[in-house]
Structure 1
Amino acid sequence: MTQRRAQLAANLDQVQGRIARAAASAGRDPAEITLVAVTKTYPASDVVLLAELGVTDVGENKDQEAKAKAAEVRAAGAVPRWHFVGQLQRNKARSVARYADVVESVDSERLASALDKAAQDLRDAPLDVLVQVSLDGDPSRGGAAADLAATVEAVAGAPGLRMCGVMAVAPAGWDPERAFERLAGIAQQVRADHPEATVVSAGMSGDLEAAILHGATHVRIGTSLLGMRNLLR
C-alpha cells in the first residue's frame, strides 16, 4: 500500500503539473480546473489513497462496479464527489441516483425524465447533471446531437435535476483542438439560455491540454493518474 500510495502521489504530481502548464498557456487559473480521477477497474483502495492525497472528485462508468466501490470507499471513511461518466440505461437511473453526486452522461429526454423521477424519490437535493454532447453524431458513443436542445431543456426543467453544463469525448480520429473548440461553442450557446450551466467536462489523459485551452472546467483522467492496469496486476 505504501508503494501504491507513492506511485499515485507521483502520478498526481505529474498530472497536476500538466494542468497547471496548460492553464498558464491558456491564460487561465489552474484553480478553475477540477481533476476527476477516473477509477474504473481500479480498486476502492486506490480511491481511498487518492482522497488522502487531496483528490476530491472520482469518475466511474459502470453502475455495478461504481455502487459497490462507493459503498466500500464510504465505509473506509473517504467521501469523494462521485461522477457517473459512462453511458447510462434508464433502468439504472434509480441505482445511480443513490450514490452519484454528478451524472455527466445524460443524452436524451427519456433518460433525463428517468433520473428526475429517481432523484425526486431518493434524494433530498437535486442531482447535478451534465448533458453529454455528441460532436460527430455517432450514436454508438452516446451523446445528444440533433436532440441536444431538447435534452438541455428537459434537464433544466426537471425539479429533481440541476443543469450544470456539458460533457463530451473527442471523437476517434479527430484533432482534439477541433473537437473541443466545437464543444466550447456549444457550451457558450447553452450558457446563453442557462447561465448556471458553467461546467465543461472535456479532456482525458491524452488530450487534456487541448481541452483546457478551449475552456474545460473538468478533466477526466484515468491512465495518466492510475497507470495501465495490466502493468499493475
Structure 2
Amino acid sequence: MLSSLSLDRPDAIALAALILTWLLTGWLVEHPPNSRPSVSALMAGYRRDWMRQFVTRTPRIFDANIIDSLRQSTAFFASASMIAIGGGVALIGNVTKLEGLAHDLTIEAAGVRVELKIILVLLFLANALLKFVWAHRLFGYCAILMAAVPNDSDDPLAYARAGQAAEINITAAKSFNRGLQSIYFALAAITWLLGPVALLAATAITSFVLLRREFASLSRMVMLSR
C-alpha cells in the first residue's frame, strides 16, 4: 500500500509544478505589476466606482439586481463543485472502475495510484467550493452594507459606508476568482491520469490561458480604453 502511494521522480516533479504554478498564477493575478494591472485589479477599481455612483442613484433596484446576480453565480458554481466532488468520491469508492479506467488509458492499473490522482482533483474542487461559499456570503454582507448607505449624499456616512461595501465586494470577487482558478487547475489535474508529461503540458496551458485572460485579453483592452 505505502509503495503504491509513493511517487516516482517524474510524477513528483509534475505534481510540484502544478501546485507551484497554481500558487504563483493566483499571486500574480492579485498582485500585478503597477505598469500592467490585471483584469481583476482593473475590476476592483470599477467596483469602487460602482459604489460611489450607487450613493446618488435613485432608485437602487439596478444595484440590487447586480448583487443578486453575483450571489446566484457563486451559488451555481458552489453547487456544481459539490456535485463534482460527490462524483469523484463515488469514483474513488469503486476501485474496479478505477482500475478499468487505468487500463483504458494504458497507464498502470494500480488502484491506489489512480485514487491518489483523483484525490488531487477533489482537493482542488474542495478548495473551489470553500471559496465560492465564502464569496456567496461576502456578497450577502455587501448587500447589507449597501442597504445601510444613506440616500442623502451629504450625509457623512454615505460615502464611508459605500467605501466599506466596495471593499467587501472586492474581497468577495477575489474569493470567487480563486474558486474559478481552482476549477481550472482541477481540470488540469485530471490529465495526470495520462501521465506526468500530460500533467506538465496541461499545467502550462492552464497557466497560459489564465494569464492571457488577465493580462492580454480583449476585455482588458476595453477596460483600459477611455
TM-score (norm 2): 0.23
Structure with greater proportional strand content = 1
Higher RCO, 1 or 2 (CA under 8 Å, sep at least 6)? 2
TM-score (norm 1): 0.22
Structure with greater proportional helix content = 2
